[in-house]
Structure 1
Amino acid sequence: MTTALNTMQPARLAIFIALALAGVSPTLYASETFNTELVELDNPGMGKADLSAFESGSQAPGTYHVDIILDDRLLETRDIRFMAVKDANGSGTLQPCLSIGQLKAWGVKTALFPQLDAGEGECADLRAIPQASADFQFGAQRLAISIPQAAIDLPARGYVPPDMWDEGITAAMLNYSLSGANSRARSGAGTRSDSQYANLRPGINVGPWRLRNYTTWSRDASGQDKWDNVYTLMQRAIIPLQAQLTLGDSSAPADVFDSMPFRGVQLASDDDMLPDSLKGYAPVVRGIARTNAQVVVRQNGYQIYQSYVAPGAFEIADMYPTGGAGDLDVTIVEADGSEQHFTLPYASLPVLQREGRLKYALTAGQYRSYNRSVEKTPFGQLTGIYGLPHGITLYGGVQGADKYQSAALGMGKNMGDLGAVSADVTLGWSTPEHTAKTNGQSWRARYSKNFITTGTNFSIAGYRYSTRGYYGMQDVLGSYGDSSALQDRRRNRAELTMSQTLGDNLGALTLSAAREDYWNDGKSMASWSVGYSNYWHNISYGLTWTYSKNVRSASENRKSQKNADHDQLLAFNVSIPLDKFLPQTWANYGMNASSNNGTTHNVGLNGVALENRALSWNVQQGYGTEGVGNTGNVNADYKGTYGEVTAGYGYDKNSERLNYGLQGGILAHADGITLSQPLGETSVLIKAPGAYYVDIRNQPGVRTDFRGYTVVSNLSVYRKNDLTLDPETMPDDVELEINTRTVTPTRGAVVRADYLPKSGRRVLMTLTDNDRAVPFGAVVALVGDESGSFIVGDRGQVYLTGMREQGTLVATWGSQSSQQCRADFTLPNHSTYGGIADMHTTCRQER
Structure 2
Amino acid sequence: MQEKRTYAPSGKSLPDALARTTLMAGCFALLFSETQPANARDRVWFDPMLMEQGNPGQQGVDLSIFSDRGTLPPGSYKLHVWLNGSDVLTRDITLRASAPAEMSPVITRRLLKDLGVRVEAYPALATLADDAPVNDLGSIIPAAFAKVDTRRMILNVSIPQAALVVSPRGYVDPQYWNNGITTLFSNYSWSGSQNQADGRPDEQSQYVNLQNGLNVGPWRVRNYSTWTKDDAASHWNSLSSWVERDIKALRAQLVIGESYTPSALFDSVQFKGVQLASDDNMLPDSQRGFAPTIRGIANSNAQVTIRQNGYIIYQSVVAPGAFEINDLYPTSHSGDLEVTVKEADGREHVFIQPFSSVPVMQRPGQAKYNLTAGRYESGWAHDNEPEFVQGALFYGVNNRVTLYGGALGAEQYQAAALGVGIGMDEWGSVSLDITQAHSVLQDESVHDGQSFRFQYAKNIEATGTAVTLAGYRYSTAGYYTFEEANRGENDASASDYAFDQKRSQFQISINQSTREYGSYYINAWQRNYWDRDDTEKSLSAGMAITYATVSYNVSLNWNKTQGETDRQIALGISIPLSEWLPHSWATVSMSQNKAGDSRLQTGLSGSAFDDGRLGYAFSQSVNREGDSHDVDSDSNAEVNYKSRYANLNLGYYRSDTSRQWSYGAAGAVVVHPHGITLSQPLGDAFALVSANGASDIRLVNQPGVSTDWFGYAVVPWLTPYQENRLTIDTTTLPPDVDTETTSARVIPNKGALVEAQFDARRGYRILLTLHRANGDVVPFGAIVTRKEASDTESIVDEGGVVYLSGINDQTTLQVKWGRESTQHCQANVILPPALPEGRDMLDLTAACI
TM-score norm. by structure 1 comes to 0.92
Q: After the TM superposition, which of the residue ranges 828-837 and 765-774 deviates more from structure 2?
A: 828-837
Q: Hey, what does 1:51 align to over in structure 2?
A: 64
- Distance in 1 separating the partners of 2:507 and 2:85: 46
- Distance in 1 separating the partners of 2:523 and 2:593: 19
Structure 2 letter corresponding to 1:210: R
Structure 2 letter corresponding to 1:60: P
2:246 is the counterpart of 1:246: no
- Distance in 1 separating the partners of 2:33 and 2:607: 42
2:760 is the counterpart of 1:723: no
Question: What CA deviation, in whole Å up to 9, does each residue of 1:767-791 have, x standing for no partner?
Answer: 3456754333211123455352322
Q: After the TM superposition, which of the residue ranges 799-808 and 536-545 deviates more from structure 2?
A: 799-808
The within-5 A match list for 1:653-668 is 653-668=656-671
Change (3 A) 1:363 1:9: closer
Change (3 A) 1:7 1:362: closer
Question: What CA deviation, in whole Å up to 9, does each residue of 1:98-131 have, x standing for no partner?
Answer: 334x423432111211202564771351342122
Q: Hey, what does 2:688 align to over in structure 1?
A: 685
Structure 2 letter corresponding to 1:780: V
Structure 2 letter corresponding to 1:310: A
What is the CA distance between 1:681 and its match in structure 2?
2.5
The within-5 A match list for 1:410-449 is 410-449=419-458
- Distance in 2 separating the partners of 1:294 and 1:70: 53
Question: What CA deviation, in whole Å up to 9, does each residue of 1:675-705 have, x standing for no partner?
Answer: 1112222111111122201112111111111
Equivalent position to 2:736, from 733, 737, 740: 733
Q: Hey, what does 1:642 align to over in structure 2?
A: 645
Q: Hey, what does 2:770 align to over in structure 1?
A: 767
Are the counterparts in 2 of residues 465 and 491 from structure 1 also a CA contact under 8 Å?
yes
Q: Hey, what does 1:357 align to over in structure 2?
A: 366
Q: Hey, what does 2:804 align to over in structure 1?
A: 800
- Distance in 2 separating the partners of 1:703 and 1:808: 31
Q: Hey, what does 2:535 align to over in structure 1?
A: 524
Q: Hey, what does 1:578 align to over in structure 2?
A: 577
Structure 1 letter corresponding to 2:577: L
Q: Structure 1 regions of 5+ residues with no counterpart? A: 553-562
Are the counterparts in 2 of residues 443 and 465 from structure 1 also a CA contact under 8 Å?
yes
Equivalent position to 1:316, from 319, 325, 350: 325
Are the counterparts in 2 of residues 212 and 232 from structure 1 also a CA contact under 8 Å?
yes
Change (3 A) 1:54 1:94: farther
Are the counterparts in 2 of residues 58 and 94 from structure 1 also a CA contact under 8 Å?
no
2:481 is the counterpart of 1:472: yes
Are the counterparts in 2 of residues 831 and 838 from structure 1 also a CA contact under 8 Å?
no
- Distance in 2 separating the partners of 1:200 and 1:630: 37
What is the CA distance between 1:611 and its match in structure 2?
4.5
2:567 is the counterpart of 1:568: yes
- Distance in 2 separating the partners of 1:149 and 1:648: 59
Equivalent position to 1:84, from 96, 121, 126: 96
Change (3 A) 1:772 1:757: same
What is the CA distance between 1:309 and its match in structure 2?
0.8
Partner of 1:14, secondary structure, is helix
Q: Hey, what does 1:621 align to over in structure 2?
A: 620
Change (3 A) 1:613 1:121: closer
Partner of 1:55, secondary structure, is coil
Are the counterparts in 2 of residues 529 and 545 from structure 1 also a CA contact under 8 Å?
yes
Question: What CA deviation, in whole Å up to 9, does each residue of 1:309-335 have, x standing for no partner?
Answer: 111111122233336653332221122
Are the counterparts in 2 of residues 43 and 772 from structure 1 also a CA contact under 8 Å?
no
- Distance in 2 separating the partners of 1:84 and 1:318: 53
2:180 is the counterpart of 1:168: yes
Are the counterparts in 2 of residues 602 and 622 from structure 1 also a CA contact under 8 Å?
yes
The within-5 A match list for 1:214-225 is 214-222=224-232, 224-225=233-234
2:37 is the counterpart of 1:37: no
2:722 is the counterpart of 1:711: no
2:157 is the counterpart of 1:145: yes
2:69 is the counterpart of 1:66: no
Structure 1 letter corresponding to 2:465: T
2:842 is the counterpart of 1:837: yes
What value does the CA root-mean-square deviation take over the aligned residues?
A: 2.6
- Distance in 1 separating the partners of 2:737 and 2:143: 44
Q: After the TM superposition, which of the residue ranges 310-319 and 369-378 deviates more from structure 2?
A: 369-378
What is the CA distance between 1:434 and its match in structure 2?
0.6
2:823 is the counterpart of 1:819: yes
Q: Hey, what does 2:470 align to over in structure 1?
A: 461
Are the counterparts in 1 of residues 692 and 711 from structure 2 also a CA contact under 8 Å?
yes
Q: After the TM superposition, which of the residue ranges 583-592 and 358-367 deviates more from structure 2?
A: 583-592
Question: What CA deviation, in whole Å up to 9, does each residue of 1:552-610 have, x standing for no partner?
Answer: 2xxxxxxxxxx3x1222221001111111222211111111112251111111111123
Question: What CA deviation, in whole Å up to 9, does each residue of 1:481-534 have, x standing for no partner?
Answer: 856798311111111111223x54222321111111111222421112221210
What is the CA distance between 1:180 and its match in structure 2?
1.4
2:20 is the counterpart of 1:8: yes
TM-score norm. by structure 2 comes to 0.92
Are the counterparts in 2 of residues 70 and 146 from structure 1 also a CA contact under 8 Å?
yes
Are the counterparts in 2 of residues 464 and 493 from structure 1 also a CA contact under 8 Å?
yes
- Distance in 2 separating the partners of 1:489 and 1:746: 42
Q: Hey, what does 1:751 align to over in structure 2?
A: 754
What is the CA distance between 1:654 and its match in structure 2?
3.0
Partner of 1:663, secondary structure, is strand
Structure 2 letter corresponding to 1:248: G
- Distance in 1 separating the partners of 2:126 and 2:712: 42
Q: Hey, what does 1:610 align to over in structure 2?
A: 609
- Distance in 2 separating the partners of 1:406 and 1:460: 25
Q: After the TM superposition, which of the residue ranges 54-63 and 726-735 deviates more from structure 2?
A: 54-63
Change (3 A) 1:522 1:487: farther
- Distance in 1 separating the partners of 2:32 and 2:762: 25
Q: Hey, what does 1:291 align to over in structure 2?
A: 300
Structure 1 letter corresponding to 2:98: K
Question: What CA deviation, in whole Å up to 9, does each residue of 1:223-262 have, x standing for no partner?
Answer: x111111100001000000000000011110011111211
2:544 is the counterpart of 1:544: no
- Distance in 1 separating the partners of 2:618 and 2:39: 60
- Distance in 2 separating the partners of 1:434 and 1:30: 96
Question: What CA deviation, in whole Å up to 9, does each residue of 1:384-403 have, x standing for no partner?
Answer: 11111132111110000011
Structure 2 letter corresponding to 1:213: N
Equivalent position to 1:809, from 813, 828, 832: 813
Change (3 A) 1:723 1:687: same
Structure 1 letter corresponding to 2:613: A
What is the CA distance between 1:827 and its match in structure 2?
4.1
Q: Hey, what does 1:488 align to over in structure 2?
A: 500
Aligned residue pairs: how many? Answer: 822
Are the counterparts in 2 of residues 178 and 198 from structure 1 also a CA contact under 8 Å?
yes
- Distance in 2 separating the partners of 1:601 and 1:107: 62
- Distance in 1 separating the partners of 2:105 and 2:304: 61
- Distance in 2 separating the partners of 1:780 and 1:566: 80
The percentage of aligned residue pairs carrying the same residue is: 38
Question: What CA deviation, in whole Å up to 9, does each residue of 1:336-363 have, x standing for no partner?
Answer: 3332323333422211110010000000
2:259 is the counterpart of 1:230: no
Change (3 A) 1:842 1:464: same
- Distance in 2 separating the partners of 1:444 and 1:28: 74
Structure 2 letter corresponding to 1:545: L
- Distance in 1 separating the partners of 2:396 and 2:48: 72
Structure 1 letter corresponding to 2:72: Q
The within-5 A match list for 1:187-226 is 188=199, 191-222=201-232, 224-226=233-235
Partner of 1:140, secondary structure, is coil
- Distance in 1 separating the partners of 2:805 and 2:840: 11
